Amino acid sequence: MTNIRKLAGYGIGDFGLNIYWQTVSLFLVFWYTTVVGIDPKLAGSIFFIGMAWDAISDPIMASLAERVKTPFGTYRPFLLFGSVFTAGAFTLLFWVPPFTGWPQVLMLVLTCLIFRTTYTIVAIPYSAMASRITYDSLERADYSGARMFFAFIGLLVVSWFLWPMIELFTRITGSEQTAFQYAAAAGGTVAVLALWMCFALTEEQSLPIKTIQSEKIWQGIVHNVKSNRALRVLLLIILLKSASGTCLGITLIFYIEANQVYLAPKEFLYTAFAVATVIFIPIWTIAIRKWGRKKIWIISAIIYILAAIHMMFNPVLTIAGIPVHITLFSVCSAAHVVIFWALIPDAVEYGQIHSGYRSEAGVFGSVLITQKLSSGIMGLVVGFVLSAFGFSKDAVMPQELGNDLKLFIAFCPALLLALSIIPILLLPMGRDSHKKIITQLKNEDV
């Protein structure tokens, strides 16, 4: 039976990280275009640059963190000491530079890169902890479920409190730009406390065998990709899933704004989506335990695709102003994220048994490169799509924009998820096979 204290302790760390992640993923491009006032193409480009920088810095951080040895463990100290810097950089991210034109854009890029770097220092060790907290595949599904439960609690908090806080601080300061910074500072404070709690309530297990590390970061990543078939298939799944999630996440707020006549207020909608997701996370986790990861991935993907097809060819179905199709998208996406993070640490041992050495940095590094580049490219695509659809901060939204966004938000993510079913079927890694790998590793004398 998985330890409840450790489950909650690990999960609450992702609550803190998702104060940052959800705000940036859902609202940063919107903030660039509507508050700062830059072109959607530039906003999407800045988002891409930040993700591209992550793709470079994440594996470097994974490799550096893997080599740390302290009385507190390998990864946990980064949660304690790095979280304060991340909170400060998050506040800086929502600062509007007092410039115009390209100097302003360059400053926005710089603050984006500063935040991304500090976030990496905390988020990468946190993710890598999943490979040290337990070596049991079933327990890893539990930890992944707990992580996603708290992650979407983070989304719930951002959805429920962000806009009321901005309105409050706007009334106090008289400036919406300053209000965003104050709200970011408040969110950063909450995130720091959550990450400190994660540090206090978790512990890392010793490695089952001696770890043999690659001396060069990129060499380890290349070697893992070449020697680890499960990882190669998993990277394709992550490529498709990350692009799908980013497409839905960034486009959603623009879709809500374009259809605000018949939809509920955006803070209410995001809260509703988050509540539905939080309710279903434990349900998905139990289902994964019972029926396995592949079956649940396919079932949830099919539900998502059917909802998208219905949305494309029918009027938007709403209940109290809440679009039913998009609520289903959120619920189904939750299953994929739980499975996503449960599979990654299993790929570490799969690679270890086939290559002869363990490289958490190589596996997590290649995963993160794929995830961030996929999300960054999709963010860039969304920026250009918004511009092509005629979105502008100062112009009246074209009447067709709402319908165009409806088709885009339904078709693009669903297509990517449909494609992901192929590699999930080909994934050479299951619960029983992983259990045999762990038993073999524990019995080997390396």
Is residue 209 one of the residues assigned to a domain?
Answer: no
- What residues make up the domain containing 79? 4-204+214-443
**Residues 6+ away with beta carbon under 8 Å from 156:** 271, 274, 275, 278
Residue 323 C-alpha from the chain's centroid: 23
Dist. CA 58–CA 439, nearest whole Å: 31
Per-residue pLDDT of the chain (446 residues; tens, 9 = 90+): 567 888 999 999 999 999 999 899 888 988 999 889 889 999 999 999 999 998 889 888 888 888 888 888 889 999 999 999 999 999 999 999 988 888 999 999 999 999 999 999 999 999 888 888 888 877 888 888 888 899 989 988 998 888 889 999 999 999 888 999 999 999 999 999 999 999 999 988 876 655 555 556 666 677 778 888 889 999 999 999 999 999 999 899 888 888 888 899 888 898 899 899 889 999 999 999 899 999 999 999 999 999 999 999 998 899 999 999 999 999 999 899 889 888 888 888 888 887 777 777 778 878 888 998 999 999 999 999 988 887 766 555 555 677 888 999 999 999 999 999 999 999 988 777 877 887 887 776 44
Helix (H, G, I), strand (E, B) or coil at 319: strand
In Å, what is the CA distance from 199 to each residue of 78, 196, 206, 338?
9, 5, 17, 22
Indicate if the alpha-carbon torsion angle 411, 364, 153, 187 is positive or negative: negative
Contact call for residues 133 and 82 (beta carbons, < 8 A): no
108, 47 contact by CB (below 8 A): no
Residue 190 covered by a domain? yes
Query: What is the rounded distance in angstroms from the CA atom of residue 338 to the CA atom of residue 131?
Result: 15
195 belongs to a structural domain: yes
- Is residue 224 within 8 Å of 362, Cβ to Cβ? yes
- Predicted structure pTM score: 0.81
- The tally of domains found in the chain comes to 1
Tell me, what CATH number does 112's domain have?
Answer: 1.20.1250.20
CB 65 within 8 A of CB 95: no
